[in-house]
Structure 1
């Protein structure tokens, strides 16, 4: 599970057993988790995050989407 970015308390990473999905990134903090699709950045799923935190995370993903997407393609070889 390579970490592609750390921003504040958040760790953004990919999971190697999900190679057939469109580009995405997982975000964890403590025992909370979320998954964002990178094309037209949008929330795919989450557990434990409050709405205000999800908005903050989405902003982080949007601001770093190009670099995250590049890392995704490098990792999955697409």
Structure 2
């Protein structure tokens, strides 16, 4: 996730943050929830791009 000069890196399996790079805690929590809510779709897209 990037916004302005802020960059956050998350691992998807299991979902965990690697680096929060300037985001506030409430923003990181919102990003984390969004990832968890969309995890199947994110993983499907990742596999289509990287495995296909």
Give TM class, smaller chain: 0.7 to 0.9
Partner of 2:21: 47
Matches within 5 A, 1:1-78: 27-77=1-51
Which structure has the highest helix share of the two?
2
Q: Which has the higher strand share?
A: 1
Cα offset for 1:44?
A: 1.1
Task: Give aligned pairs, total.
Answer: 52
Q: Which runs of 5+ in 2 are unaligned?
A: none
Aligned-residue offset at 1:28: 1.2
TM-score (structure 2 length as normaliser): 0.87
Secondary structure, aligned partner of 1:43: strand
Instruction: Give the aligned CA root-mean-square deviation in angstroms.
Output: 1.3
The corresponding residue for 1:7 is: none
Instruction: Report the Cα distance in structure 2 between the residues aligned to 1:32 and 1:69, rounded to whole angstroms.
Output: 23
Which consecutive residues of structure 1, in runs of 5 or more, have no partner in the other structure? 1-26
Quick one: distance in 2 between partners of 1:29 and 1:62?
Answer: 20
